[in-house]
Structure 1
Amino acid sequence: MKAFAAAALGLVLSAQAALAAEPVYPPASRIGIVPPADMMVSKRFSGFESEEKAAAINFVEMPAAAYAQLVNGLTKDALKRQGLSETSREALKLGAKTGVLIGGTMAGPVQGRKWVMAVKDEDLTALVIAQVRGGQDGYSEAQMREALKSIALRGPVPIEEQISALPFRFGDKAGFRPVRVMAGNSVLFTDGPQDTIKAVEQPMVIMAAAVNVPVPPAERRSQFAHAALNSNQILKDVKIERSESFRFKGQDWHEIVAKAVEAESGQPIVVMQTIRFEPDRYVRLVGLTRVEQRDQNLPRFRTMIDGVDMNP
């Protein structure tokens, strides 16, 4: 009987260990991992974080075709410009998946360790960015690498389920349809048959939220908004037409309308950026349209963000 009880207990414990090793997927994410101990699903982005250990693992889903361009861009110089001093680079073969895992130290005012991993299968490229701020406390190199290499990719998640997991909800979509959700906190909309949009042949709207982050004080919000717009790499030759702060629905807003050029194609476009600030978060809309469609689409962009509510 004792032998039977011991065997039964062993089966239970081994089953629990097997369950614990199952990958965890953030809501609506196709990317999952076995996270390090005490790291929880983030409410701010698609991935995991531990505030106590100042650590985070962030997921970004991309098309499979994006893998080669992504990896080719992960050069030492490019990573250094983004604040990562590379110390290791490893080619990965994880079952049917291939990838690369780069490790290094964080450069700049925030010190710590950082990892960038790109993995692809037949229909998905996963970009995973992990960091542990501070010194050698928190998670070890081995713990982080083990978690990253546990990556699992699952099949497509319905777009409606992805949108329901965002930190905000929509009222009037102004006739735009969702194309894809990105990083668990942003979504791309368009109006037209194409999902891959070249030269802004269809109007585009990107809605994104930043939750539980420092919000700039009122006197710095205009500067913040201009910096956010100028950081958009798909735009060049930006010429501001209008920039204003205002109060609406009891909240502080900032809006910019500008002419610009779509960087890849050289197509002249009009961009509208509207940011709605709350005490510990903000939501940002960037709408792009061809010049000849501005009068039709700029009011639609405002209708969209006017109808957005942040989830509690």
Structure 2
Amino acid sequence: MKALVAAVFGFTLSIQAAFAAEPVFPPASRIGIVPPQDMVVSKRFSGFENEERAAAITFAEMPPQAYDQMVPGLTKEALKKQGLDLKTRENVKIGSKSGILIGGAMTGPVTGRKWVLVVKDADLTGLVIAQVRGGQDGYSDAQIRDALKSVALRNSVSLEEQVSALPFRINDKAGFRPVRVLAGNSVLYTDGPQDTVKAVEQPMVILASAVQSLPSVEARNQFARAALNSNQILKEVRIERSEAFRLRGQDWHEIVARAKEAESGQDIVVMQSIQFDGSRYVRMVGMSRAEQRDENLRRFRAVADGLEILSQ
């Protein structure tokens, strides 16, 4: 009888373990893992987190060719410049997929442990980054490594599902259509037949959400200008208007500027609107050819006015 009970108990545990080992996919993510105990799907980014243990695992989806571009740069010297003291590096095999897993200590302003997994599939490169800001009492190295090695990649998710999972809503699309979602927090809209837009041949709207320590009200003008000037699509940026204002109880900053498209030299007009909300912000950048200025600035304004940051 005792042997029978033990067998049933062992069988039950094996079933529970099998269910527990199923990877979990954040909304609209093609990347999933079996998360460490007490890590939950984040509402702030694509991945998992445990705020009490100061730990997070984030996902980013990239084209398949990104794997061969990234891996050669994961050297000890290059990583050291990026604030990571490399301790371990190994080739991993996850099912039929190849990957590189590295780990080390963060040496920047924020200290702790960090792991980076790059895994390659036929039509996707998955980037998984884990950070634990603390000692082994947060999560042990083994717990994190087990979670990363459980990574699974699933078939493509519809664009509609990806847009619906963004941490913000666009209530007025002003005739633009979505063409691509990136990293679970950014989306590209355009108006025209092309999904890949070159030289701003079609107007574009890019919206991106970020979670970080926000600048003071006094520093937001400088913050907004720096954000606009960091856009690699633009060169020779000449600001026409830069102002802060309040709308629907939220702080905003907006810039209208003239610029040239970096590769073609095409004259374009740019509107950047940033909505601040606590420790989050959403940045909208609308770009149009200069000859379509008046029409598209009105449309960019409508998109910004209809932007809604979703509650966490």
- Output the TM-score relative to the length of structure 2: 0.90
> Is 1:26 aligned to 2:26, yes or no?
yes
Worse-superposed segment, 96-105 or 168-177: 96-105
Worse-superposed segment, 258-267 or 149-158: 258-267
Q: Work out whether 1:175 is the aligned partner of 2:175.
A: yes
Displacement of 1:289: 2.5
Find out whether 1:292 has 2:294 as its counterpart.
Answer: no
Report the counterpart of residue 68 of structure 1 in structure 2: 68
The DSSP-based 3-state class of the residue aligned with 2:193 is coil
Kindly report which structure 2 residues correspond to 1:255-274, keeping only aligned pairs within 5 A, or say none: 255-274=254-273
Q: Could you tell me whether the CA contact under 8 Å between 1:58 and 1:183 is conserved in 2?
A: no
Task: Identify the range of structure 1 (31-40 vs 139-148) with the bigger mean alpha-carbon deviation.
Answer: 139-148
Deviates more, 1:227-236 or 1:149-158: 227-236
- Deviation, structure 1 residue 142: 2.1
Task: Mark the runs of 5 or more structure 2 residues left unpaired by the alignment.
Answer: none
SS at match of 2:15: helix
Identity score, percent: 71
The Cα offsets for residues 25-75 of structure 1, whole Å up to 9 and x where unpaired, read as 011111001111111110100001111111111111112233322334445
Deviation for aligned residue 1:168:
1.6
The 5 A counterparts of 1:27-106 are 27-106=27-106
What is the distance in 2 between the residues matched to 1:273 and 1:69?
31
Q: Which amino acid aligns with 1:283?
A: V
**Cross-structure match for 2:217:** 218
The SS at the match of 2:65 is helix
CA displacement at 1:135 relative to structure 2: 4.0
Q: 1:227 to 1:46 in 2, by over 3 A?
A: same
1:121 maps to 121
Q: Report whether the alignment pairs 1:4 with 2:4.
A: yes
Using the alignment, how far apart are the partners of 1:210 and 1:203 within structure 2?
23
- Cα deviation digits, residues 89-112 of structure 1 (max 9, x gap): 322322221222222222221111
CA distance in 2, matches of 1:237, 1:90: 44
In 1, the alpha carbon distance for the partners of 2:10 and 2:245 equals 65
Q: 1:130 to 1:260 in 2, by over 3 A?
A: farther
- The letter of the residue matching 1:23 is P
Whether the aligned pair in 2 keeps the contact of 1:111 and 1:135 (CA below 8 Å) is no
Whole-angstrom CA distance in 1 between matches of 2:246 and 2:55:
36
Pairing 1:107-118 to 2, within 5 Å after superposition: 107-118=107-118
> Helix, strand or coil for the counterpart of 1:64?
coil
**What's the offset of the Cα at 1:148?**
1.1
TM-superposed deviation, 1:173: 0.5
In structure 2, the partner of 1:242 is 241
Q: CA deviation at 1:268?
A: 4.3
* Corresponding pairs, count: 311
After superposition, the Cα gap between the structure-2 partners of 1:210 and 1:89, relative to the gap in structure 1 and judged at 3 Å, is same
Larger displacement relative to structure 2 (125-134 or 31-40): 125-134
Show CA shifts across 1:128-156 (max 9, x none): 12211234441222222221111100011
1:11, distance to aligned residue in structure 2 (A): 1.4
How far 1:279 sits from its partner (Å)?
2.9
Structure 2 distance, partners of 1:145, 1:233, is 35
- Structure 1, 232-241 or 88-97: larger mean CA deviation: 232-241
Is 1:257–1:272's contact at 8 Å kept on the other side of the alignment? Answer: yes
Q: Secondary structure of the residue that 1:18 maps to in structure 2?
A: helix
Tell me by how many angstroms 1:266 deviates.
4.8
Distance 1:295-1:33 versus aligned 2 partners, 3 A rule = same
State the distance in 2 between where 1:266 and 1:85 align: 41
- For structure 1, the 5+ residue unaligned runs are none
2:303 aligned with 1:304: yes
Say if 2:274 is the partner of 1:275. yes
What is the aligned-residue RMSD (CA, Å)? Answer: 2.2
- 1:13 Cα deviation after fit: 0.8
User: Structure 1 residues 118, 199: closer, same or farther in 2, change over 3 A?
Assistant: farther
Q: Which residue of 1 aligns with 2:199?
A: 199
| Alignment partner of 1:151 is 2:142 | no
